[in-house]
């Protein structure tokens, strides 16, 4: 139907590389008041190293073929302040920002994938902040934007509107995004095997992107662990 050609446009799409939305030049990045550098930076160093050790211990309990090639750290801000998100991602080292959100208290959360052995990159940033060596970057805005670092739990990946489900007895539909680029195994098959063991229902259908797999599952939320 040539007369209705405008209803069926063709060849109108084009592929473009994603560009991270940077802050406007000259814009002031506000950070909360902090204790002295050794206290604040030292606490972040301890929290990062502790989270890395917990992740390593958990990985060692798994069969070699199921061990993850990294961990996910969760960074938190003070209420009504932001994290310096662009400084949380170091692509050349495989460190990738997975998600970010602001909770009902105004605290920003960021889930960051850190490959095995790369947590030291953040530790060195915190050390530079503490030592404050003349002529070297001290990462002040980045470090002072962070209130705490911890090993990410399921809630760290919650990006939907509303609160994270709190009732462990109520089942929900979840959209699960799996990483492919940093997983040496079939991410979908590995997840399905683990889900079957845990009694989680997974839809047989999935959506594939170049670096992600998206699956629909039905499961309850685990009891939150504040430790």
Q: Say whether pLDDT at 23 is over 50.
A: yes
118 and 72 in contact (C-beta within 8 Å)? no
pLDDT in tens, 67-123: 788 899 999 999 999 999 999 999 899 999 988 989 889 999 999 999 999 999 999
Mean pLDDT of the chain: 84
Average pLDDT on 192-197 reads 85
Q: Which residue has the higher pLDDT, 9 or 36?
A: 36
Q: Say whether pLDDT at 226 is over 50.
A: no
CA–CA–CA angle 198, 102, 48 (5° rounding): 65
At 106, list the tokens: 């105004």
Q: What is the 3-state secondary structure (H, E, C) of 29-41?
A: CCCCCCCCHHHHH
Q: What are phi and psi of 89, to 5 degrees?
A: -110, 125
**pLDDT band with cut points at 50, 70 and 90 for residue 46:** very high
Predicted confidence at residue 183, as pLDDT, reads: 54
Q: Which residues pair with 227 in a beta bridge?
A: none
Q: Does pTM top 0.85 for this prediction?
A: no
**CA 163 distance to own-chain centroid:** 18
81 and 109 in contact (C-beta within 8 Å)? no
CA atoms within 13 A of residue 5's CA, in its CB half-sphere: 4
Q: How far is residue 204 from each of residues 14, 87, 187, 214, measured CA to CA in Å? A: 31, 38, 14, 11
Predicted confidence at residue 42, as pLDDT, reads: 97
Non-local (6+) Cβ contacts of 132 within 8 A are 37, 138
Calculate what percentage of the chain has a pLDDT beyond 70.
Answer: 87
Q: Say whether pLDDT at 61 is over 70.
A: yes
- Report the range out of 15-19, 69-73, 193-197 with the highest average pLDDT: 69-73
Least confident of 9-23, 143-157, 201-215: 9-23
């Amino acid at each position: 139907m040539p007369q209705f050609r405008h209803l069926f446009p063709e060849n109108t799409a084009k592929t473009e590389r994603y560009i991270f939305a940077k802050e406007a030049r000259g814009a002031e990045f506000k950070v909360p008041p902090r204790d002295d550098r050794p206290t604040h930076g030292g606490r972040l160093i301890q929290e990062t190293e502790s989270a890395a050790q917990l992740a390593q211990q958990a990985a060692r309990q798994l069969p070699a073929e199921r061990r993850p090639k990294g961990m996910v750290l969760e960074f938190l801000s003070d209420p009504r302040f932001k994290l310096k998100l662009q400084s949380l991602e170091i692509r050349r080292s495989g460190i990738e920002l997975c998600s970010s959100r602001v909770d009902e208290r105004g605290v920003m959360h960021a889930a960051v994938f850190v490959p095995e052995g790369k947590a030291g990159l953040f530790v060195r940033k915190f050390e530079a902040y503490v030592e404050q060596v003349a002529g070297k970057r001290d990462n002040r805005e980045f470090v002072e934007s962070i209130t705490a670092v911890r090993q990410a739990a399921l809630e760290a990946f919650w990006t939907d509107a509303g609160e994270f489900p709190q009732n462990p007895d109520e089942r929900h539909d979840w959209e699960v995004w799996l990483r492919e680029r940093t997983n040496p195994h079939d991410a979908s098959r590995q997840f399905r095997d683990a889900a079957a063991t845990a009694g989680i229902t997974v839809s047989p259908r999935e959506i594939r992107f170049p670096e992600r797999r998206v699956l629909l599952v039905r499961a309850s939320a685990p009891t939150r662990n504040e430790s």
